[in-house]
Structure 1
Amino acid sequence: MKANVKLIQKQRSFSEEFKRSIVKDFESGKFSVLQLERLHQIKSPIIYRWIYKYSQVNERGQRIVEMKDSSTKKLKLLEQRIKELEQTVGKKQIQIDYLEKMIDVAKDELDIDIKKNSNTPQSNGSAKTKKK
């Protein structure tokens, strides 16, 4: 039985050149912190520490906000939906313009007033109807 066995913890050390390359990958937009964490198996707080230390853009005291893939996808889907709705509104406006032009043509050439048909009897309003 081994009673005096101690677990040896691995502590990796990274060169300054490696740290700067990680920060450069992040700043270029090639990788997010999460992707760098998975790729190099380095915890994200360490990567953020390197970003604050070696970054030319990000400074300590400023919060780094990354859009997750799902947020980006959701934004692209919403932009696509807006584009589709704008196309639909455009088509409907063309149809409305066409129908209004047809009404004008019917009035001018055929002497038919579609908007106001004078042959229909007036409504009695909300008077009660007789029961049979």
Structure 2
Amino acid sequence: MLKTGKKLLKYRRFSEEFKKKIVHEYEYGQLSVSSLSETYSISFQCIYRWIHQYSSYNKAGIQVVEMKDSQESKLKAQQKRIAELEQSLGQKQLYLEYLEKMIELANEEYAIDIKKNSNTPPSGGFRTTKKS
């Protein structure tokens, strides 16, 4: 009981808009019933009741079968691909930093400017450079 004297409800109430939104997400394959249940902390039974109530093609008495190749599996595959690409990008970044350091060391050790400015003329051939 609250200080104002009102009792706390033991269950939640959802607006009709919210229920239709959940059904829409399910019908268009954005999320499965299990992922909707986890995402919004709503029971399976409640979601199935809403599907039977608000869906245009899933009515009570008809068994709802979810396809394995749903949006959820595609989403998981895309997330896995993103993780792989991020890892690859990280490795390339480390390699790039390694090469930058090697260029810097070559410049210090051998006085060779490997990174030439774009406005410098091309080299004259096999002339040797003097150490400074």
Larger relative contact order (C-alpha < 8 A, sep ≥ 6)?
Answer: 2
Between structure 1 and structure 2, the one with the greater Rg is: 1
Query: Above 0.5 in TM-score?
Result: no
Scaled by the length of structure 1, what TM-score is found?
0.44
